[in-house]
């Protein structure tokens, strides 16, 4: 008998999926990601992610290796262009942190300072991102998520006609050097890094490849212009789309708890880091799962 044939089956875990009362989101209680997750439990998690767009796994005492392994079950992992902020020995993990050690930032201190969908500036944008809390500040540090399916469903008719069938350009450097939070900075990109984030064009309205729903796919963080429109008209339409996307009824505000692992769908949502006082330490580990070309 082979080793695989004789291996004991992975035990199911008793966990609960509790939807939030907000626009999107659910929390998963009682699941331990430091233990193996069998296929049936994984299917429940996958379904919850599609249904609620952001799921919060509470109290996850997991290692970087375990975060990477769980993330990989959803797809290929993407390596961030800012290699100086990747976790030593684990380039799949981007350190998101405002902590300064020996005069140097240990991570990307102002990640998410504008509303955005992760890696929308790539030919293959992110399917989803997982962010695991390592150190949390005593105040601030919230993350906001906006439902872009709902934004499209409720888009005023005039705006719908203005964007339907059109595409927009996305660029990592669109607002790269703009300051937003006190005490944070971004390193100058090398020519090699700039080559990795050349401008791309995606449809303004994308179809989710798994749930079939349409969603707006623009953001103030990375979208620069609408293809084929005069500059002033493009800027006006985009400003209206951004304002509509983040109406209060579309938004869930996540207040972090120790050891939260938050997994969101970048095909369905945009998100924003609300910031925290620069003297309060904040550190999280992010893995990013590659998605498909938007259509």
118 belongs to the catalytic site: yes
Q: Nearest 5°: CA angle at 171, between 51 and 23?
A: 25
Active site residue 116: yes
**Would you say 32 and 13 are in contact if contact means Cβ atoms under 8 Å apart?**
yes
User: Considering 41, 118, 260, 265, which one is annotated as catalytic?
Assistant: 118
Q: Is 249 a catalytic residue?
A: no
- DSSP structural state of residue 156: -
CB neighbour list of residue 44: distance below 8 Å, 6 or more residues apart: 17
Distance CA(149)–CA(160), nearest Å, equals: 13
Strand pairing report for 54-57 and 26-29: parallel
Considering the candidates 52, 53, 170, 271, report the single residue annotated as catalytic.
271
Cβ atoms 41, 70 nearer than 8 A:
no
Q: What would the DSSP string read from start to end of 247-271?
A: -GGGEEEE---TT-EEEEETTTEEE
Q: How far apart are CA 189 and CA 185, in angstroms?
A: 12
How is residue 59 annotated by DSSP? S
Cβ atoms of 234 and 225 within 8 Å: the answer is yes
Q: Select which of 116, 132, 202, 206 is catalytic.
A: 116
61 part of the active site: no
Query: Which residues sit opposite 288 in a β-bridge?
Result: 129
**Alpha-carbon span 193 to 196, nearest angstrom:** 5
Which entry of 53, 149, 170, 286 is annotated as an active-site residue? 286
- Catalytic residue positions? 116, 118, 271, 286
């Amino acid at each position: 008998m082979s080793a695989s044939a004789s291996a004991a089956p992975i035990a199911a875990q008793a966990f609960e999926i509790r939807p939030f009362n907000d626009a999107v989101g659910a929390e998963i209680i009682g699941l331990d990601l430091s233990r193996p997750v069998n296929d049936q439990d994984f299917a429940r998690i996958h379904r919850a992610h599609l249904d609620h767009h952001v799921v919060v796994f509470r109290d996850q005492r997991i290692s970087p290796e375990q975060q990477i392994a769980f993330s990989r079950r959803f797809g290929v992992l993407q390596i961030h262009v800012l290699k100086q902020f990747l976790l030593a020995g684990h380039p799949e993990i981007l350190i998101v942190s405002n902590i300064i050690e020996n005069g140097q930032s240990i991570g990307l201190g102002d990640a998410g300072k504008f509303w955005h969908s992760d890696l929308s500036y790539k030919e293959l944008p992110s399917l989803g991102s997982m962010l695991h809390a390592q150190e949390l500040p005593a105040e601030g540090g919230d993350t906001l998520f906006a439902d872009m399916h709902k934004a499209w469903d409720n888009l005023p008719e005039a705006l719908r006609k203005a964007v339907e069938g059109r595409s927009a350009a996305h660029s990592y450097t669109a607002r790269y050097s703009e300051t937003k939070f006190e005490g944070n900075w971004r390193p100058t990109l090398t020519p090699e890094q700039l080559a990795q984030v050349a401008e791309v064009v995606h449809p303004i309205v994308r179809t989710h490849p798994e749930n079939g729903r349409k969603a707006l796919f623009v953001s103030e963080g990375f979208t620069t212009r609408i293809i084929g429109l005069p500059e002033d008209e493009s800027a006006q339409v985009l400003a209206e789309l951004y304002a509509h996307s983040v109406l209060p009824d579309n938004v869930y505000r996540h207040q972090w708890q120790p050891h939260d692992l938050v997994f969101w769908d970048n095909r369905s949502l945009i998100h924003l880091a609300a910031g925290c006082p620069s003297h309060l330490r904040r550190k999280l580990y992010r893995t990013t799962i590659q998605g498909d070309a938007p259509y």
